[in-house]
Amino acid sequence: MLPHRRELQTYPTGARRRRLLAVVILALFISAYEGQLAPVLPLLLDDLGMSLRLYGLLTAASLLFGAFAGFVGGSLADRFGRVRLLVPFMFLSGLACLFMATSQSITQFALARILLAFVEGVAVAGTAPLVRDFTPRLGRAQAYAFWSWGPVGANFFAAGVAAATLDLLGGTWQSQLYLMAAVSLAGSVVIALTLQDLAPHLRREVRFSDDSARAARAPLARPGARHLVGHAVVWQHVIAMSSLFVLLGTMNAYGQVLVVDTFGVSVRTASVVVVFFWAANLVTSLAVARWSDTVQRRSPFLLGGGVGILLALSALLVLMGRGDAASPGAVVAVLVVLGAAMGGVFGPWMASFSAHAEEIHPDLQGSAFGLQHLVSRLLVLASVVLAPRVAEAAGWRTWLLVALVLAGVFTVLAGWLHRAERRLLRRPTQAAGADVIARTGGAGATAAG
């Protein structure tokens, strides 16, 4: 029997846990890498005779299908097992990538793009719950910070591979998709031979550390999102983080365009400026997550990050009002602060959401993150569709005012989550784990590894 068909009967620790978490991140990285068409988009549009506007509509449609696929996949992962769902859909995503590479018309490309988005949405639905399963609360923020490197790293990897291999492989957009499919299928073999689900009795435990766990109540007959939607704390988490995805979606899709249009710099300079934003985001995500795990608090970092985002966005809006006269150094500095503030909230938010969801029921992690995936992707879709239209009609400054209001929503909800965290800290699992923090000096960093 293949390893992914067997279940772990003991909780993984040490090197075994690090290996399992690394493979989970690999799965997310591969899923994010597939379909990264930005490096070869001009070649694709010319070859298929497709307009950029039509490509944008197809991208929006694929985001919509992917959002609902992630929501459905989360419930399926809870019901049938994360790895049992992940492995076959990883292989299917590789085949879908091959289908896209063989597209000869816009219709075939559209079908392949939507199919890939749907299959990937189902495939990655189990990755966030797997991080929860393999990581106690003591080190969970750091584990999720590493998890977030998957999609961001895939963007850089796709650009680097295209730069290194495009000319060698005939300069066609199909060559990059064949490479993506090969990486996907090879990675799927590694995942199938490595990953295993926790046995149900282990997955239902609420773990603070390797040494501290609390047994949960009997499993639900048919766990699903309907058991979550009646809890205000779930919606507070979902709406809070989803509010930031408008700004994240804007920077991911239009960051360089925004900088070029607003400050009148070259495309190359704009790319360098945006790289500083993402670099600050990545570095801070790990540093703050480690700090959060050390002190075992989440909401202060969410609230501090929200305030930082508001201040940085306000400063950016002031600089945008100056246009070409704005200092390039000041623009870079503000974007670095903005990227750092946004990166700092991700790990603590994921750890907080996971902890509150498992208090409702440990079997519902997939459904919880599936709900978050659906709402956040719908807001990313709104950003992709609405941002250029608002920018064309009233300028990018107006669109970032919308992002500023939503950052305010995040900050207010972070304040409410502070009260929810205080209630959580009084529960038995946290009390039992307090002795662990005292003994280790707050060394939460080791829990994730």
Residue 171's region, left for phi above 0, alpha for psi from -120 to 50, else beta, is left
Nearest Cα neighbor of 283 from 138, 135, 152 is: 152
In contact, 133 and 12? CB cutoff 8 Å: no
| pLDDT value at residue 445 | 40
**Whether residue 195 has pLDDT greater than 50:** yes
Phi, psi of 215 (to 5 degrees): -70, 140
In contact, 209 and 436? CB cutoff 8 Å: yes
**Whether residue 34 has pLDDT greater than 90:** no
**Residues 286 and 351 reside in one and the same domain:** yes
The confidence band for 2, taking pLDDT boundaries of 50, 70 and 90, is low
Share the mean pLDDT of the chain. Answer: 87
Higher pLDDT, 319 or 421: 319
Question: Is residue 104 domain-resident?
Answer: yes
The confidence band for 198, taking pLDDT boundaries of 50, 70 and 90, is very high
Domain stop point among 154, 185, 203: 203
CB count in 10 Å sphere of residue 1: 5
Q: What is the mean pLDDT of residues 380-399?
A: 91
Looking at 230-234, 341-345, 361-365, 423-427, which range is the least confident one?
423-427
**Whether residue 444 has pLDDT greater than 70:** no
| pLDDT value at residue 178 | 94
Looking at 36-40, 259-263, 371-375, which range is the least confident one?
36-40
| pLDDT value at residue 424 | 76
Question: Is residue 388 domain-resident?
Answer: yes
**Whether residue 230 has pLDDT greater than 90:** no
Can you tell me the distance from the alpha carbon of 306 to that of 310, in angstroms, rounded to the nearest whole number? 6
Q: What is the pLDDT of residues 324-365, one digit of tens each?
A: 999 999 999 999 999 999 999 999 999 999 998 988 888 888
* Radius of gyration of the chain from its Cα atoms, rounded to whole angstroms: 22
Q: What are the Cα distances from residue 269, in Å, to 161, 260, 272, 283, 377? A: 21, 8, 5, 21, 29
Three-state SS annotation for 232-254: HHHHHHHHHHHHHHHHHHHHHHH
> What percent of the chain stands above pLDDT 70?
91
**Residues 142 and 269 reside in one and the same domain:** no
In contact, 123 and 31? CB cutoff 8 Å: yes
**Residues 261 and 406 reside in one and the same domain:** yes
CATH number for the domain including 301? 1.20.1250.20
Domain stop point among 163, 188, 203: 203
In this structure, what token pair is assigned to residue 443?
């060394």
**Residues 93 and 23 reside in one and the same domain:** yes
User: What is the tally of structural domains in the chain?
Assistant: 2
| pLDDT value at residue 404 | 97
**Whether residue 1 has pLDDT greater than 80:** no
| pLDDT value at residue 290 | 95
Question: Is residue 297 domain-resident?
Answer: yes
CA angle 378, 368, 250 (to 5 degrees): 30
**Residues 197 and 137 reside in one and the same domain:** yes
Q: What is the mean pLDDT of residues 60-88?
A: 91
**Residues 257 and 368 reside in one and the same domain:** yes
**Residues 283 and 411 reside in one and the same domain:** yes
**Residues 198 and 277 reside in one and the same domain:** no
Phi, psi of 213 (to 5 degrees): -145, 155
| pLDDT value at residue 148 | 84
Q: What is the mean pLDDT of residues 109-137?
A: 92
**Residues 130 and 262 reside in one and the same domain:** no
Question: Is residue 445 domain-resident?
Answer: no
Question: Is residue 213 domain-resident?
Answer: no
Question: Is residue 96 domain-resident?
Answer: yes
| pLDDT value at residue 360 | 85
Phi, psi of 426 (to 5 degrees): -85, -5
**Whether residue 413 has pLDDT greater than 90:** yes
Higher pLDDT, 247 or 227: 247
Domain stop point among 203, 220, 255: 203
Whole-model pTM over 0.75:
yes
The confidence band for 164, taking pLDDT boundaries of 50, 70 and 90, is confident
**Residues 248 and 393 reside in one and the same domain:** yes
In contact, 290 and 229? CB cutoff 8 Å: no
Most confident of 16-30, 145-159, 193-207, 268-282: 16-30
Three-state SS annotation for the chain: CCHHHCEECCCCCHHHHHHHHHHHHHHHHHHHHCCCCHHHHHHHHHHHCCCHHHHHHHHHHHHHHHHHHHHHHHHHHHHHCHHHHHHHHHHHHHHHHHHHHCCCCHHHHHHHHHHHHHHHHHHHCCHHHHHHHHCCHHHHHHHHHHHHHHHHHHHHHHHHHHHHHCCCCCCCHHHHHHHHHHHHHHHHHHHHHHCCEECHHHHCCEEEECCEEECCCCCCCCCCHHHCCCCHHHHHHHHHHHHHHHHHHHHHHHHHHHHHHHHCCCHHHHHHHHHHHHHHHHHHHHHHHHHHHHHCCCHHHHHHHHHHHHHHHHHHHHHHHHHHHCCHHHHHHHHHHHHHHHHHHHHHHHHHHHHHHHHHCHHHHHHHHHHHHHHHHHHHHHHHHHHHHHHHHHCHHHHHHHHHHHHHHHHHHHHHHHHHHHHHHCCHHHHHHHHHHHHHCCCHHHCCC
Can you tell me the distance from the alpha carbon of 126 to that of 108, in angstroms, rounded to the nearest whole number? 29
| pLDDT value at residue 103 | 92
**Residues 165 and 274 reside in one and the same domain:** no
**Whether residue 221 has pLDDT greater than 60:** no
Question: Is residue 74 domain-resident?
Answer: yes
Q: What is the mean pLDDT of residues 418-432?
A: 66
Nearest Cα neighbor of 247 from 364, 153, 114, 339 is: 339
| pLDDT value at residue 446 | 41
**Whether residue 261 has pLDDT greater than 80:** yes
**Whether residue 449 has pLDDT greater than 50:** no
Question: Is residue 181 domain-resident?
Answer: yes
Domain range holding 117? 3-203
Q: What are the Cα distances from residue 13, in Å, to 17, 124, 134, 141? A: 5, 23, 8, 17
**Residues 126 and 269 reside in one and the same domain:** no
**Whether residue 440 has pLDDT greater than 70:** no
